[in-house]
Structure 1
Amino acid sequence: MLIAFNKPFQVLCQFTDRSQPPRATLAGFGLPAGVYPAGRLDHDSEGLLLLTDDGGLAHRLTDPRHKRPKTYLVQVEGLARDEQLEALRRGVTLKDGPTRPAGVRALPAPPALWPRDPPVRHRKTVPDGWLEITLTEGRNRQVRRMTAAVGLPTLRLVRVAMGGVGLEGLAPGQWRVVAGAAG
């Protein structure tokens, strides 16, 4: 079984949390028993999280050797210049080495997304823009580190697709079984 879940902002990609006070987890969303995340999204990231009860499928979905594309909508502080976009497309060097080239485009207008609670801080003197970024690897906080490396700190990060699975029709906290998921 493969589940597409729209992970809300500030929800952990696990079913339990031992911290005090406890944080919101996947346990609060009525997901089927026996499924576990295939990959992760940071606590402060939103969007598509795939869950499965099939360990082999989870491996095929997340192993970097399979180069499954993951697409993100990224609100950044500042307006992206051509040289910043090109640097992201070529791949940037992070502390853990160079990234693979990425698909990157500046969006002409903010995407149609649900409001975030709490909203992203708005600064009158600093413009923000939106990028669509597609990666074929998945390092820890990679999108945030890449945008920061080119001078565009991430304000909001929403994964909208992973492989051939997208968020279509799912509000934050909603999930659906993905039909015909063979991995």
Structure 2
Amino acid sequence: MSYSYILFYKPYNVLCQFTDDSLHSNQRETLKNYIEIPNIYSVGRLDLDSEGLLLLTDNNRVKHRLCEPSFAHPRTYWSQVENIPSPQALRQLQQGVIIQGKKTKKARANLLINEPELPPRNPPIRYRREIPTAWIELQLTEGRNRQVRRMTASVGHPTLRLIRVKMGINSHLELTLTGLSPGQWRKLTDLEQKILEKL
């Protein structure tokens, strides 16, 4: 059986599903506005107000394998936060913080020296001249609800913009946003698909 595998750059304010049954359904875009491939579903989720890399497939075995927490597939995010995080705040993120009564797993967290080159967000983040912003790169191996936002807020640096930029599959494959702009998608290459199906 042949399966479909799609990498999609989800824009801001796009619902991470193909239908919207809410009261806002006539105001919000869904994946259906961008992808016309039947019977595929996202592997994991991105919040409405988050952007970035999304893998979609109709292979339920692969979807289960990538979503199963015990396999701890790393996912990398760029988070634009209020103010400049101190080394202590970064260490807290690395060692784990308490959110919703439970400590997060250890993570990689570092300050990006240069602002990443990204397409402008529509609408742009709120700008306040008296409050500087900075970018943090975070690599997590768990996917709790609004985890990055809750983690950065817990160390005093609310997230203003959040983009998932990488998904680690195994030591041979890392999926990235390279070559994609917001709203664009591509099929996995034959090699990427072969590695994915060997999981």
| Pairwise TM-score range, normalised by the shorter structure | over 0.9
1:159 aligned partner, one-letter code: R
1:174 aligned partner, one-letter code: Q
- The reply to whether residue 156 of structure 1 matches residue 166 of structure 2 is no
Q: Secondary structure at the match of 1:32?
A: coil
Give the match for residue 143 of structure 1. Answer: 148
Give the match for residue 89 of structure 1. Answer: 94
Give the match for residue 5 of structure 2. Answer: 2
- The reply to whether residue 134 of structure 1 matches residue 139 of structure 2 is yes
**Aligned-residue offset at 1:21:** 3.5
Give the match for residue 104 of structure 1. Answer: 109
Q: Distance in 2 between matches of 1:53 and 1:95?
A: 32
Alignment of 1:19-34 (within 5 A): 19-22=22-25, 23-34=28-39
Alignment of 1:47-66 (within 5 A): 47-66=52-71
1:87 aligned partner, one-letter code: Q
**Aligned-residue offset at 1:178:** 1.3
- The reply to whether residue 172 of structure 1 matches residue 182 of structure 2 is yes
Deviations 1:148-177 (A, max 9, x none): 000010000000011111110110010111
**Aligned-residue offset at 1:64:** 1.0
Deviations 1:40-81 (A, max 9, x none): 000000000110100010011111111100000100001010
Q: Distance in 2 between matches of 1:15 and 1:176?
A: 17
**Aligned-residue offset at 1:142:** 0.3
Aligned residues: 183
2:110 aligned partner, one-letter code: R
Q: Secondary structure at the match of 2:179?
A: coil
Stretches of 4+ moved more than 6 A in 1? none
Single out whichever of 78-87 and 94-103 deviates more from structure 2.
94-103
Structure 1, unpaired ranges of 5+: none
Instruction: Give the share of equivalent positions with the same residue, in percent.
Output: 50
Q: Distance in 1 between matches of 2:181 and 2:127?
A: 23
1:168 aligned partner, one-letter code: T
1:13 aligned partner, one-letter code: C
Q: Distance in 2 between matches of 1:8 and 1:43?
A: 9
Deviations 1:85-119 (A, max 9, x none): 00001011112411001111101121000100000
Give the match for residue 72 of structure 2. Answer: 67
